[in-house]
Amino acid sequence: MNNNLKYKSIKLAFSYFLFTSFLSGNISFAQLVIGDQAPNLVLSSTNNSIQSFAFPNQNKMYLLFFWSTSVSKSKENIYKYKRLFTKYSDIGFKNSDGFDVISVALQSDKVAWENAINEYDLSKLNNCIAQKGYSDFFVKAYKLTETPSSFLIDELGKIVAINPPLNTIIDYLDNKRNSLLNADVQSKLFGKVIVKNVPLINEKIFLLNDKKDTLQIATLDERGAFLFKNINASTPYYLGLNKSTKITGDNLNFVFLTSENSEIVSNFKNTNNGFEYNLSEAEIPYLKPLVDNEPSIKKDSGALKQMYVCDIIFETKTTVLSKESLLKLNAVIAKLKANPKTKLEIITHTDSGGDAIVNATLSTKQSNSIFTYLVSKGISKARLKSNGKGESEILNKCHDDIPCSEQEHRVNRRTEFKFYPIP
């Protein structure tokens, strides 16, 4: 054998060794870093189907989340990532066609995985399972060292963050979005505490600062609800509960914090002193009261009287309800169902851009769109009235031909909800 042929044989043998060693997992490479191309994924999904993600994928940004039902820490992020999907999956972004979440369970127990999808209501996410765990061929490429692990991937398929905190993800997505953010300052915190599906009532809940000093105390009402006023929305808080005879045994891990419309924010952490949850700045908006801008709420025999709520339901001149808008309307529905002796007037407004007659017609269609959605969710037509006012009630200087910023125009594209008692 000549030297050249001998060299080729050695090179071929070494290449084969590298390939087989890679497949067997005997060779480990450097961890992925920010700026790396996200490796492709081909994994089993629900309904015995296969999902394939070759990055960049559909010019979208992705949060890729590796977790396991057997790792309790995984649960802490599930609710957060589901809310991220709900908030950002249906808005416009600069240079990107959207945002999505890929959930990959690293476990052999497929039944537990399927049960978790139902329990946590993850059906809208891209749910995949790697039953060989870290040894799965495609999972190996991510060089994971722990579960849970997450990767934020941009529309070019590049990794922009590894195991990022929630605030980092939100800041990144907010900087990429087309529309301006609502600059309203939140000063109230409203939520509910449930144990499994049952409200926790007549128990004290504590609002704590980052040093665990008690700032305010409230008593959970018959709905398990609490309200804290005069908060600083830019400050992280802790919520605390004492040990209780109402929370024992298996229920210790099923104490949940929810929003006013019963959307789960997260589960409380079971500690030696009771239960606590570290509420970050990014999560505080989920606990914004439906009536946050109402100066006074009067009650009469359990029914709300003359309650006024104002919100942005239509970001642009459209009659289509976005996913984000539907969440807001679901909160209105919850309020109507909780107070059956009330009726509601829906009043929509537009900005001054365009023809006044066209705007009047548009706002009428917008209020009718909301009316139709509420009826489809079981609210009686007799309790509802829709009213479109177009640009006839501009709140600021932004009348015809007066230069204004997008944020100033946005204030006028509002929807008012006025609740009245049924005679």
Output the DSSP codes for 113-128.
HHHHHHHTT-TTSEEE
Looking at 258, 287, 316, the residue that finishes a domain is 287
Task: Please tell me which residue, 4 or 300, carries the higher pLDDT value.
Answer: 4
CB atoms within 10 A of CB 409: 17
Q: Is 15 within the bounds of a domain?
A: no
The set of residues, in sequence order, having a beta carbon less than 8 Å from that of 320 and lying 6+ positions away, is 369
Look at strands 50-53 and 41-45 and give their pairing: antiparallel
Domain that holds residue 59: 41-176
Q: In the predicted model, is pLDDT for residue 27 greater than 70?
A: no
Q: Is 207 within the bounds of a domain?
A: yes
> Mapping DSSP to helix (H, G, I), strand (E, B) and coil, where does residue 157 land?
coil
Looking at 287, 307, 337, the residue that finishes a domain is 287
The set of residues, in sequence order, having a beta carbon less than 8 Å from that of 314 and lying 6+ positions away, is 325, 348, 366, 413, 415
Evaluate whether 363 touches 339 at the Cβ level (below 8 Å).
Answer: no
Looking at the fold, whether 314 and 333 belong to one and the same domain comes out as yes
CATH of the domain at 83: 3.40.30.10
Q: In the predicted model, is pLDDT for residue 295 greater than 50?
A: no
- How confident is the model at residue 10, as a pLDDT? 45
Q: Is 262 within the bounds of a domain?
A: yes
Evaluate whether 366 touches 314 at the Cβ level (below 8 Å).
Answer: yes
CATH of the domain at 236: 2.60.40
CATH of the domain at 373: 3.30.1330.60
Unique residue bearing structure tokens 């398990």: 224
pLDDT tens sequence across 165-204: 888 998 899 888 875 554 456 778 899 999 988 999 999 9
Q: Tell me which H or E stretch contains 420.
A: strand 415-421
- How confident is the model at residue 233, as a pLDDT? 72
- Round to whole Å and give the CA distance between 74 and 393: 49
Residues in the chain: 423
Q: Is 309 within the bounds of a domain?
A: yes
Calculate what percentage of the chain has a pLDDT beyond 70.
87
The set of residues, in sequence order, having a beta carbon less than 8 Å from that of 240 and lying 6+ positions away, is 205, 206, 208, 273, 274, 275, 276
pLDDT tens sequence across 108-122: 999 999 999 988 888
- How confident is the model at residue 185, as a pLDDT? 62
Q: In the predicted model, is pLDDT for residue 216 greater than 50?
A: yes
Looking at the fold, whether 264 and 324 belong to one and the same domain comes out as no
Q: Is 102 within the bounds of a domain?
A: yes
Among the listed residues 161, 195, 194, the one whose alpha carbon sits nearest the alpha carbon of residue 176: 161
Q: Is 30 within the bounds of a domain?
A: no
Q: Is 292 within the bounds of a domain?
A: no
Count of domains for the chain: 3
Looking at the fold, whether 192 and 171 belong to one and the same domain comes out as no
How far apart, in Å, are the Cα atoms of 128 and each of 80, 174, 415? 18, 27, 39
Per-residue b/e over 325-357, b at no fewer than 16 CB within 10 Å?
A: bebbbbbbbbbbeebeebbbebbbbbbbeeeee
Unique residue bearing structure tokens 């994928």: 57
- How confident is the model at residue 340, as a pLDDT? 83
Mean pLDDT for the chain overall:
83
Q: Is 16 within the bounds of a domain?
A: no
DSSP letter at 284? G
Please compute, for residue 191, the number of CA atoms within 13 A of its CA located in the half-sphere on the CB side: 26
- How confident is the model at residue 17, as a pLDDT? 43
Q: Which residues pair with 130 in a beta bridge?
A: 106
Task: Please tell me which residue, 86 or 372, carries the higher pLDDT value.
Answer: 372
pLDDT tens sequence across 369-423: 999 999 999 999 989 999 999 998 887 778 888 888 887 788 788 898 888 777 6
- How confident is the model at residue 26, as a pLDDT? 41
What is the crossing angle of helices 356-376 and 323-338, to 10°?
Answer: 60
Among the listed residues 316, 328, 340, 303, the one whose alpha carbon sits nearest the alpha carbon of residue 417: 328
